[in-house]
Amino acid sequence: MDRFLTGGYKRISQIYLALKTVSLFLRYTMCMLNLTYAYRLKLNKQQFQTYDAWLETSRRVWNFALAQRKDWYNSRSCRIDACSIKSEYIIRADTPRPTFASQCKALTQARKTHPDLNAAHSQMLQQVLRRVEKAFIGMWESGRGFPRFKKQGRMRSMLFPQLGVNPIQGSRVKLPGVGWVKMQLSRPIPDGFVAKQAQVVKKASGWYVMLTLQADVNVPSFAPHGYPVGIDLGLKSFLATSGGEQIPRPRFFVDLQGKLRLLQQRASRKKLGSNNWRKAQHKVSRLHEHIHNTRKDFHFKLAHYLCDKGGMIFAEDLNFKAMAQGMFSKHTLDAGFGEFLSILEWVCCQRGVYFAKVNPDGTSQTCPNCNNHTGKKDLSERVHRCHECGFETDRDVAAAMVVMQRGLAAVGHTVKMLGEGLSNSSLLTQESPVF
């Protein structure tokens, strides 16, 4: 009977979708589309040495620029009529605060006398100063920590903000300072796109280039259509859908975290700076890279899976930065919710699925059946029970339903409460897919 129901439901939704596709109304907006594609680089020995030296130069520029700003702030932090007993910064009171512009000027001067600085790409070094500036702005505005000095080997990427004309030919890319470099063209560069920027990154597994590709294209913005899906991101399961599905947090994350701890422990027992220590560190960073890739892969697969389900996807507009600083910090960061949502948005755009974020306030305190306020739930309380109408379902699923209803209301659909007869067949808890 169940199978029959789902079969019938599938048929109906297919017909419904087909009808909708015919009448699908696409709005095109002209805009600049940016894509970032990453490729592995095959540097020869000379190219490798050049870029290694440039990374070291930019690390020193970072540290110098940071020290200059730090000293200036410290010199301003003591009282005018008193001196510290230990030491005092001797910086004249009328010295202006170091800025991006002033530091760029100083860099140009220093390049004349320092061959190391002169050897490195000037725009690339300016980008380092811009990063210092950004780090300070991040500290003032977003409450991040004081920017830190970088130890040897900690500078891992260089940004080249401009590339020459036709910088890509076949599977080769022309990069500043080293000329033509072979790259592993794991996927072709899409037609109509031009490489504008290149970021060269040194990872544990080798060198990579992140190309910023740009094109003037028509980006379709999809009108809301199709079957609605609301999602709730949680800690117990990775996410719950309004259809009653729960996607668990993948098991491999836990396993890899354990492995990471083990490797970190091993590395910490080695003598600092020794060859064995370096090898152990390398293993740790390889694993970090692997975890990152695995997580991204999982996010993409899940995003495609959700797009298979419906034509509109709604998610809560959560502040992940605030969440990450709160009590669930580790879990939140580990699950990478923010990253998942941006991947989901991207996949939706590719697949022609409408995506929107809704107000997250009190989604877990509202009954999806009668819209009644059920009050705050304790985190351990896993089931939603409404005293008003007796509706009972999993807590996260209930939240996802509320998200869906809010989304539908936002796009102008009349929201039917479940009690008024929205298809209940979708509410049967289904088996979760295996990724």
* Residues contacting Zn ion: total by CB under 5 A: 8
Name the residue nearer to Zn ion (CB basis): 126 or 366.
Answer: 366
Name the residue nearer to Zn ion (CB basis): 294 or 371.
Answer: 371
CB of 301 to Zn ion, least distance (A): 34
Name the residue nearer to Zn ion (CB basis): 183 or 367.
Answer: 367
Phi, psi angles (nearest 5°) of residue 191: -60, 140
Name the residue nearer to Zn ion (CB basis): 315 or 386.
Answer: 386
Judged on CB neighbours under 10 Å (0-12, 13-18, 19+), 66 is buried
String of contacts with Zn ion for each residue 286-325, x by CB under 5 A:
----------------------------------------
Name the residue nearer to Zn ion (CB basis): 133 or 394.
Answer: 394
- Nearest by Cα to 206 from 171, 176, 181: 181
Question: Is residue 197 within 8 Å of residue 35, measured between CB atoms?
Answer: no
Residue 23 token pair? 């009448």
CB of 370 to Zn ion, least distance (A): 3
- Nearest by Cα to 152 from 240, 52, 84, 238: 52
Q: Which of 204, 215, 389, 411 binds Zn ion (CB under 5 A)?
A: 389
CA distance 191 to 215: 9
Name the residue nearer to Zn ion (CB basis): 229 or 367.
Answer: 367
CA distance 36 to 181: 18
CB of 409 to Zn ion, least distance (A): 17
Name the residue nearer to Zn ion (CB basis): 60 or 384.
Answer: 384
Name the residue nearer to Zn ion (CB basis): 155 or 240.
Answer: 240
CA distance 12 to 155: 56
Tell me the window of 171-179, 266-274, 331-339, 383-391 that interacts with Zn ion (CB under 5 A).
Answer: 383-391
CB of 391 to Zn ion, least distance (A): 5
Question: Is residue 216 within 8 Å of residue 180, measured between CB atoms?
Answer: no
Q: What is the bridge-based pairing of β-strands 354-358 and 312-316?
A: parallel
CA distances from 416 to 274, 342, 423, 425 (A): 67, 29, 10, 15
Tell me the window of 123-131, 171-179, 241-249, 380-388 that interacts with Zn ion (CB under 5 A).
Answer: 380-388
Q: Which of 144, 388, 424, 432 binds Zn ion (CB under 5 A)?
A: 388
Q: Which of 133, 314, 391, 403 binds Zn ion (CB under 5 A)?
A: 391
Tell me the window of 60-68, 76-84, 359-367, 376-384 that interacts with Zn ion (CB under 5 A).
Answer: 359-367
Q: What Rg value do the Cα atoms of the chain yield, rounded? A: 27
Tell me the window of 239-247, 266-274, 377-385, 391-399 that interacts with Zn ion (CB under 5 A).
Answer: 391-399
Interaction of residue 402 with Zn ion, rule CB under 5 A: no
CB of 372 to Zn ion, least distance (A): 5
- Side-chain half-sphere exposure of 60, counting CA atoms within 13 A: 11
CB of 394 to Zn ion, least distance (A): 15
String of contacts with Zn ion for each residue 64-93, x by CB under 5 A:
------------------------------
Report the b/e string of 370-409 with b at 16+ CB within 10 A. beeebeebeeeeeebebeeeebebbbbbbbbbbbbbbbbe
Q: Give 185-192's long-range contacts (Cβ < 8 A, gap of 24+).
A: 185/39, 186/39, 186/40, 187/37, 189/37, 189/213, 190/35, 190/215, 192/217
Assign 14 to helix, strand or coil: helix
Restricting to residues 360-379, name those near Zn ion by CB under 5 A: 367, 369-370, 372
CB of 229 to Zn ion, least distance (A): 21
Name the residue nearer to Zn ion (CB basis): 313 or 418.
Answer: 418
User: Amino acid identity of 76?
Assistant: R
Q: Where would I find the H helices in 270-385? A: 275-309, 320-325, 329-335, 337-351
Name the residue nearer to Zn ion (CB basis): 193 or 391.
Answer: 391
CA distance 55 to 76: 32
CB of 387 to Zn ion, least distance (A): 8
String of contacts with Zn ion for each residue 319-358, x by CB under 5 A:
----------------------------------------
Through-space distance between the first and last CA atoms of the chain, rounded to whole angstroms: 28
Name the residue nearer to Zn ion (CB basis): 212 or 374.
Answer: 374
Assign 168 to helix, strand or coil: strand
Q: Which of 135, 313, 347, 386 binds Zn ion (CB under 5 A)?
A: 386
Q: Which residues bind Zn ion (CB under 5 A)?
A: 367, 369-370, 372, 386, 388-389, 391
